[in-house]
Amino acid sequence: MKKSKPFPVPVRLGYSCRKCPAYCCTYEEIPVKARDIARLARHFGIEPAQAEARFTRLDEKGEARVLRHRKDEVFKTACMFLDRESRQCTVYESRPAICGDFPGGTRCGYYDFLKFERKHQEDPEFIALT
Ligand code: SF4
Ligand code: SF4
């Protein structure tokens, strides 16, 4: 007998990136692999070597490529691909795998912290700085 496909179980996420100032995009060193660089290169229609030079730098140890940062109005710096006003990723469909994997579960510690602070301050727009 043909096995019927199980219905996908909807997952309720305990966080909303749309309401967050993007804490996770402010990590100083967001590592990228060759395939992430190749995807970004395709996104911009350039060669991987150009993408590597434009969008990445070496980490502090000089061993791995990480995303470049630029000045940010909310935090000190943030990933160069973060829209500083909307707080959304400008390369969402082509973002590095590590970005898509974060936070790795149904909850985000940053978002819990943000929600707690907003409730405490009685201000739904409050941006808690880490
Ligand atoms: S810190 Fe958490 S809630 Fe905020 S953008 Fe990143 S994953 Fe989304
Ligand atoms: S590529 Fe996008 S999701 Fe990843 S850190 Fe940069 S802005 Fe955030």
CA distance 40 to 61: 24
Give the ligand at the shortest distance from the Cα of 95. 2
Banded model confidence at residue 3, pLDDT cuts 50, 70, 90: low
DSSP structural state of residue 5: P
- CA 37–ligand 1 middle distance (angstroms): 22
**Minimal-distance CA residue to ligand 2 atom 5:** 25
Banded model confidence at residue 108, pLDDT cuts 50, 70, 90: very high
Domain ranges of the chain: 26-102
Closest alpha carbon to 60 in 28, 33, 37: 28
Amino acid of residue 61: K
CA distance 43 to 90: 11
**28-66 pLDDT, tens digit each:** 999 999 999 999 999 999 999 999 999 999 999 999 999
Tokens representing 104? 């790795």
pTM: 0.90
Q: What percent of the chain has pLDDT over 90?
A: 85
